[in-house]
Structure 1
Amino acid sequence: MNDRQGLIVAEARRWIGTPYQHQASALGHGADCLGLVRGVWRGLLGPEPVRVPPYSADWAEASGREVLQVAARHWLDPAPGAEVTAGDVLLFRMRQGRIAKHLGIASGPDRFIHAYSGHGVIESPLSTPWARRIVARYRFPCPEGAE
Protein backbone atom coordinates (compact mmCIF):
# COMPACT_ATOMS: atom_id res chain seq x y z
CA MET A 1 0.00 0.00 0.00
CA ASN A 2 1.48 3.36 -0.99
CA ASP A 3 1.24 6.54 1.11
CA ARG A 4 -1.78 7.91 -0.76
CA GLN A 5 -3.67 4.64 -0.45
CA GLY A 6 -2.79 4.57 3.25
CA LEU A 7 -4.20 8.08 3.73
CA ILE A 8 -7.45 7.15 1.98
CA VAL A 9 -7.89 3.98 4.03
CA ALA A 10 -7.02 5.78 7.29
CA GLU A 11 -9.57 8.51 6.53
CA ALA A 12 -12.26 5.92 5.68
CA ARG A 13 -11.51 3.97 8.87
CA ARG A 14 -12.09 7.12 10.94
CA TRP A 15 -15.74 6.80 9.90
CA ILE A 16 -16.17 3.24 11.23
CA GLY A 17 -18.85 3.21 13.89
CA THR A 18 -20.74 6.18 12.43
CA PRO A 19 -24.44 5.23 12.47
CA TYR A 20 -26.29 4.73 9.20
CA GLN A 21 -28.43 7.70 8.22
CA HIS A 22 -29.84 8.17 4.73
CA GLN A 23 -28.47 11.30 2.97
CA ALA A 24 -26.14 12.14 5.89
CA SER A 25 -22.39 12.74 5.82
CA ALA A 26 -21.40 13.64 9.38
CA LEU A 27 -18.49 11.78 10.99
CA GLY A 28 -19.68 10.07 14.17
CA HIS A 29 -23.28 11.23 13.71
CA GLY A 30 -24.63 9.65 10.53
CA ALA A 31 -23.72 8.61 7.01
CA ASP A 32 -24.97 6.52 4.14
CA CYS A 33 -22.68 5.00 1.51
CA LEU A 34 -22.47 8.22 -0.51
CA GLY A 35 -22.06 10.23 2.69
CA LEU A 36 -19.01 8.13 3.59
CA VAL A 37 -17.39 8.81 0.21
CA ARG A 38 -18.27 12.50 0.50
CA GLY A 39 -16.73 12.64 3.97
CA VAL A 40 -13.53 10.96 2.81
CA TRP A 41 -13.41 13.42 -0.11
CA ARG A 42 -13.62 16.34 2.35
CA GLY A 43 -10.93 14.77 4.56
CA LEU A 44 -8.56 14.31 1.62
CA LEU A 45 -9.40 17.08 -0.83
CA GLY A 46 -11.34 19.75 1.04
CA PRO A 47 -14.81 21.05 0.21
CA GLU A 48 -17.05 19.02 -2.05
CA PRO A 49 -17.16 20.34 -5.64
CA VAL A 50 -20.98 20.46 -5.78
CA ARG A 51 -23.94 20.31 -3.44
CA VAL A 52 -25.54 16.86 -3.56
CA PRO A 53 -29.27 17.14 -4.25
CA PRO A 54 -31.74 15.09 -2.18
CA TYR A 55 -32.01 11.49 -3.32
CA SER A 56 -34.22 8.55 -2.53
CA ALA A 57 -33.03 5.22 -1.19
CA ASP A 58 -33.84 3.58 -4.54
CA TRP A 59 -31.43 5.87 -6.46
CA ALA A 60 -33.80 6.43 -9.41
CA GLU A 61 -34.25 2.69 -9.80
CA ALA A 62 -37.71 3.10 -11.37
CA SER A 63 -36.32 5.35 -14.11
CA GLY A 64 -33.29 3.14 -14.73
CA ARG A 65 -30.97 6.17 -14.61
CA GLU A 66 -27.45 5.36 -13.41
CA VAL A 67 -27.25 8.43 -11.18
CA LEU A 68 -24.35 7.22 -9.01
CA GLN A 69 -22.34 5.86 -11.91
CA VAL A 70 -22.68 9.09 -13.90
CA ALA A 71 -21.60 11.16 -10.88
CA ALA A 72 -18.68 8.83 -10.13
CA ARG A 73 -17.45 9.07 -13.73
CA HIS A 74 -17.62 12.85 -13.53
CA TRP A 75 -15.93 13.47 -10.16
CA LEU A 76 -13.64 10.46 -9.71
CA ASP A 77 -10.89 8.96 -11.85
CA PRO A 78 -11.18 5.44 -13.31
CA ALA A 79 -9.09 2.93 -11.37
CA PRO A 80 -6.44 1.28 -13.56
CA GLY A 81 -6.00 -2.47 -13.87
CA ALA A 82 -8.37 -5.27 -13.06
CA GLU A 83 -7.60 -5.84 -9.37
CA VAL A 84 -9.15 -4.08 -6.39
CA THR A 85 -6.52 -2.11 -4.49
CA ALA A 86 -6.63 -0.13 -1.25
CA GLY A 87 -8.22 3.27 -1.73
CA ASP A 88 -10.41 2.28 -4.68
CA VAL A 89 -13.96 3.60 -4.58
CA LEU A 90 -16.13 0.61 -5.41
CA LEU A 91 -19.51 0.92 -7.13
CA PHE A 92 -21.89 -1.99 -6.63
CA ARG A 93 -24.97 -3.22 -8.48
CA MET A 94 -26.96 -4.97 -5.78
CA ARG A 95 -29.20 -6.92 -8.19
CA GLN A 96 -28.61 -8.06 -11.75
CA GLY A 97 -30.38 -5.81 -14.24
CA ARG A 98 -30.83 -2.96 -11.74
CA ILE A 99 -28.94 0.29 -11.39
CA ALA A 100 -25.75 0.58 -9.34
CA LYS A 101 -26.64 2.09 -5.97
CA HIS A 102 -24.05 1.21 -3.34
CA LEU A 103 -20.53 2.53 -2.73
CA GLY A 104 -17.60 1.43 -0.63
CA ILE A 105 -13.90 2.15 -0.27
CA ALA A 106 -11.45 -0.74 -0.57
CA SER A 107 -9.20 -1.08 2.47
CA GLY A 108 -7.21 -3.82 0.78
CA PRO A 109 -7.70 -6.36 -2.00
CA ASP A 110 -10.15 -8.37 0.10
CA ARG A 111 -11.80 -5.82 2.44
CA PHE A 112 -13.85 -2.65 2.10
CA ILE A 113 -15.44 0.07 4.21
CA HIS A 114 -19.04 1.06 3.58
CA ALA A 115 -22.16 2.43 5.24
CA TYR A 116 -24.82 -0.20 5.30
CA SER A 117 -28.41 0.18 6.48
CA GLY A 118 -28.84 -1.40 9.89
CA HIS A 119 -25.07 -1.57 10.48
CA GLY A 120 -23.63 1.93 10.05
CA VAL A 121 -20.12 2.39 8.70
CA ILE A 122 -18.31 -0.93 8.89
CA GLU A 123 -15.33 -2.73 7.40
CA SER A 124 -16.40 -5.94 5.67
CA PRO A 125 -14.71 -8.77 3.82
CA LEU A 126 -14.88 -8.30 0.07
CA SER A 127 -16.37 -11.77 -0.20
CA THR A 128 -17.34 -13.38 -3.50
CA PRO A 129 -20.98 -12.19 -3.24
CA TRP A 130 -19.80 -8.60 -2.78
CA ALA A 131 -16.98 -8.80 -5.35
CA ARG A 132 -19.26 -10.06 -8.10
CA ARG A 133 -21.52 -7.03 -7.59
CA ILE A 134 -18.73 -4.52 -8.36
CA VAL A 135 -19.55 -2.74 -11.61
CA ALA A 136 -16.81 -0.10 -11.55
CA ARG A 137 -13.79 1.09 -9.58
CA TYR A 138 -12.65 4.66 -9.22
CA ARG A 139 -9.94 6.67 -7.48
CA PHE A 140 -10.12 9.96 -5.68
CA PRO A 141 -8.43 12.65 -7.79
CA CYS A 142 -5.02 13.80 -6.59
CA PRO A 143 -5.01 17.10 -4.71
CA GLU A 144 -3.73 20.15 -6.58
CA GLY A 145 0.06 20.05 -6.85
CA ALA A 146 0.31 16.40 -5.81
CA GLU A 147 1.64 13.71 -8.10
Structure 2
Amino acid sequence: MTHPHTLAMNDAALQEARRWLGTPYRHQASCRGAGTDCLGLVRGIYRALYGQEPETVPPYTPEWAEVSGEETLHDAALRHLEPVPLDHLRAGDVLLFRMMPHSPIKHAGILTGTATGTDTMIHAYSGRAVCETHLGRWWHTRLAAACRWPARIPT
Protein backbone atom coordinates (compact mmCIF):
# COMPACT_ATOMS: atom_id res chain seq x y z
CA MET A 1 0.00 0.00 0.00
CA THR A 2 1.25 3.49 -0.85
CA HIS A 3 1.72 5.84 2.08
CA PRO A 4 -0.78 8.78 2.10
CA HIS A 5 2.07 11.31 2.32
CA THR A 6 3.53 9.86 -0.89
CA LEU A 7 0.16 10.35 -2.60
CA ALA A 8 0.15 13.98 -1.42
CA MET A 9 3.58 14.37 -3.05
CA ASN A 10 2.16 12.97 -6.30
CA ASP A 11 -0.66 15.52 -6.13
CA ALA A 12 1.86 18.32 -5.55
CA ALA A 13 4.03 17.00 -8.42
CA LEU A 14 1.06 17.04 -10.78
CA GLN A 15 0.16 20.60 -9.78
CA GLU A 16 3.77 21.67 -10.38
CA ALA A 17 3.90 19.86 -13.75
CA ARG A 18 0.85 21.84 -14.87
CA ARG A 19 2.73 25.07 -14.08
CA TRP A 20 5.35 24.01 -16.69
CA LEU A 21 2.82 23.72 -19.55
CA GLY A 22 3.89 25.93 -22.43
CA THR A 23 7.56 26.05 -21.40
CA PRO A 24 9.59 25.81 -24.64
CA TYR A 25 11.72 22.75 -25.34
CA ARG A 26 15.41 23.41 -24.69
CA HIS A 27 17.91 20.55 -24.59
CA GLN A 28 19.56 20.21 -21.11
CA ALA A 29 17.52 23.11 -19.68
CA SER A 30 15.36 23.05 -16.55
CA CYS A 31 13.80 26.49 -16.12
CA ARG A 32 10.01 26.83 -16.00
CA GLY A 33 8.84 29.35 -18.57
CA ALA A 34 12.25 29.66 -20.25
CA GLY A 35 13.11 26.14 -21.43
CA THR A 36 13.32 22.48 -20.49
CA ASP A 37 13.70 18.98 -21.83
CA CYS A 38 11.99 15.90 -20.37
CA LEU A 39 14.69 15.38 -17.74
CA GLY A 40 14.66 19.09 -16.91
CA LEU A 41 10.91 18.89 -16.27
CA VAL A 42 11.40 16.09 -13.74
CA ARG A 43 14.35 17.96 -12.20
CA GLY A 44 12.27 21.14 -11.88
CA ILE A 45 9.42 19.29 -10.20
CA TYR A 46 11.91 17.64 -7.84
CA ARG A 47 13.30 21.08 -6.90
CA ALA A 48 9.79 22.42 -6.29
CA LEU A 49 8.92 19.46 -4.03
CA TYR A 50 12.18 19.04 -2.12
CA GLY A 51 14.01 22.36 -2.45
CA GLN A 52 17.08 21.04 -4.25
CA GLU A 53 18.14 18.57 -6.89
CA PRO A 54 19.45 15.24 -5.61
CA GLU A 55 22.57 15.21 -7.80
CA THR A 56 24.33 17.23 -10.48
CA VAL A 57 23.43 16.16 -13.99
CA PRO A 58 26.45 16.05 -16.29
CA PRO A 59 26.17 17.50 -19.81
CA TYR A 60 24.55 15.11 -22.28
CA THR A 61 23.95 15.04 -26.01
CA PRO A 62 20.58 14.28 -27.64
CA GLU A 63 21.97 10.83 -28.55
CA TRP A 64 23.36 10.02 -25.07
CA ALA A 65 21.34 6.81 -24.63
CA GLU A 66 22.20 5.44 -28.06
CA VAL A 67 25.90 6.22 -27.57
CA SER A 68 26.31 4.86 -24.04
CA GLY A 69 23.81 2.01 -24.17
CA GLU A 70 23.50 2.37 -20.38
CA GLU A 71 20.34 2.78 -18.29
CA THR A 72 21.47 6.17 -16.98
CA LEU A 73 18.01 7.74 -16.69
CA HIS A 74 16.39 4.67 -15.15
CA ASP A 75 19.25 4.19 -12.67
CA ALA A 76 19.01 7.83 -11.57
CA ALA A 77 15.23 7.56 -11.16
CA LEU A 78 15.66 4.50 -8.95
CA ARG A 79 18.19 6.37 -6.77
CA HIS A 80 15.77 9.21 -6.01
CA LEU A 81 12.21 8.03 -6.61
CA GLU A 82 10.21 4.97 -5.59
CA PRO A 83 9.59 2.34 -8.28
CA VAL A 84 5.95 1.54 -8.91
CA PRO A 85 4.49 -1.40 -10.88
CA LEU A 86 3.01 -0.39 -14.22
CA ASP A 87 -0.34 -1.86 -13.19
CA HIS A 88 -0.53 0.47 -10.13
CA LEU A 89 -0.01 3.87 -11.75
CA ARG A 90 -1.44 7.01 -10.21
CA ALA A 91 -1.65 10.62 -11.43
CA GLY A 92 1.64 12.37 -10.68
CA ASP A 93 3.81 9.28 -11.25
CA VAL A 94 6.92 9.65 -13.39
CA LEU A 95 6.68 7.55 -16.56
CA LEU A 96 9.85 6.27 -18.24
CA PHE A 97 9.97 5.24 -21.89
CA ARG A 98 12.20 3.30 -24.27
CA MET A 99 11.97 5.02 -27.64
CA MET A 100 13.06 1.83 -29.44
CA PRO A 101 12.80 -1.81 -28.32
CA HIS A 102 15.84 -3.00 -26.36
CA SER A 103 17.26 0.52 -26.14
CA PRO A 104 17.91 2.34 -22.85
CA ILE A 105 15.13 4.36 -21.25
CA LYS A 106 15.42 7.85 -22.70
CA HIS A 107 12.19 9.79 -22.15
CA ALA A 108 10.17 10.84 -19.08
CA GLY A 109 6.76 12.30 -18.48
CA ILE A 110 4.28 12.87 -15.64
CA LEU A 111 1.04 10.87 -15.68
CA THR A 112 -1.90 13.24 -15.45
CA GLY A 113 -4.56 10.61 -14.96
CA THR A 114 -7.73 9.62 -16.66
CA ALA A 115 -9.96 12.66 -16.12
CA THR A 116 -11.19 12.47 -19.72
CA GLY A 117 -11.41 8.68 -19.74
CA THR A 118 -8.04 8.31 -21.45
CA ASP A 119 -4.55 8.41 -19.99
CA THR A 120 -2.54 11.56 -20.59
CA MET A 121 0.89 12.81 -19.57
CA ILE A 122 2.76 16.09 -19.32
CA HIS A 123 6.17 16.00 -20.98
CA ALA A 124 8.69 17.97 -23.01
CA TYR A 125 10.04 16.78 -26.32
CA SER A 126 12.02 18.26 -29.17
CA GLY A 127 10.10 20.66 -31.35
CA ARG A 128 7.29 21.19 -28.82
CA ALA A 129 6.66 23.14 -25.67
CA VAL A 130 5.80 21.22 -22.52
CA CYS A 131 2.39 19.80 -23.31
CA GLU A 132 -0.22 17.31 -22.19
CA THR A 133 -0.36 14.35 -24.58
CA HIS A 134 -2.71 11.41 -24.96
CA LEU A 135 -1.02 8.14 -23.96
CA GLY A 136 -2.15 6.17 -26.95
CA ARG A 137 -0.90 2.82 -28.15
CA TRP A 138 2.39 4.30 -29.43
CA TRP A 139 3.34 5.58 -25.96
CA HIS A 140 1.99 2.53 -24.11
CA THR A 141 4.16 0.18 -26.18
CA ARG A 142 7.22 2.21 -25.15
CA LEU A 143 6.38 2.56 -21.44
CA ALA A 144 9.16 0.68 -19.61
CA ALA A 145 9.01 1.78 -15.96
CA ALA A 146 7.39 4.20 -13.55
CA CYS A 147 8.34 5.84 -10.27
CA ARG A 148 6.51 7.70 -7.53
CA TRP A 149 7.66 10.76 -5.60
CA PRO A 150 8.84 9.82 -2.09
CA ALA A 151 7.17 11.32 0.98
CA ARG A 152 10.50 12.91 1.90
CA ILE A 153 13.93 13.45 0.35
CA PRO A 154 15.65 10.07 0.01
CA THR A 155 18.86 9.77 2.02
| Residue in 1 that maps onto 2:45 | 40
Residue 117 of structure 1 aligns with an amino acid whose one-letter code is: S
| Residue in 2 that maps onto 1:28 | 33
Percent identity reads 51
Structure 1 residue 29, shift from structure 2 partner: 0.1
Question: Runs of 4 or more off by more than 4 Å in structure 1?
Answer: none
Q: Which has the higher helix share?
A: 2
The CA distance in 2 between the partners of 1:68 and 1:48, in whole Å, is 15
The CA distance in 2 between the partners of 1:13 and 1:28, in whole Å, is 12
The CA distance in 2 between the partners of 1:116 and 1:62, in whole Å, is 19
Do the aligned partners of 1:76 and 1:141 also contact (CA within 8 Å) in 2? yes
Which blocks of at least 5 consecutive residues in structure 1 are unaligned? none
Which blocks of at least 5 consecutive residues in structure 2 are unaligned? 1-6
Matches within 5 A, 1:1-147: 3-80=8-85, 82-109=87-114, 110-143=119-152
Do the aligned partners of 1:58 and 1:101 also contact (CA within 8 Å) in 2? no
The CA distance in 2 between the partners of 1:122 and 1:69, in whole Å, is 22
The CA distance in 1 between the partners of 2:151 and 2:55, in whole Å, is 17
User: Does the C-alpha gap of structure 1 residues 94 and 81 become closer, same or farther in structure 2, counting only changes over 3 Å?
Assistant: closer
The CA distance in 2 between the partners of 1:143 and 1:52, in whole Å, is 21
Do the aligned partners of 2:23 and 2:32 also contact (CA within 8 Å) in 1? yes
Do the aligned partners of 2:38 and 2:125 also contact (CA within 8 Å) in 1? yes
| Aligned positions, number | 143
Do the aligned partners of 1:18 and 1:27 also contact (CA within 8 Å) in 2? yes
Residue 130 of structure 1 aligns with an amino acid whose one-letter code is: W
Do the aligned partners of 1:59 and 1:67 also contact (CA within 8 Å) in 2? no
After superposition, the CA RMSD in angstroms is: 1.5
User: Does the C-alpha gap of structure 1 residues 131 and 83 become closer, same or farther in structure 2, counting only changes over 3 Å?
Assistant: farther
* TM-score, length-scaled by structure 2: 0.86
Do the aligned partners of 1:20 and 1:119 also contact (CA within 8 Å) in 2? yes
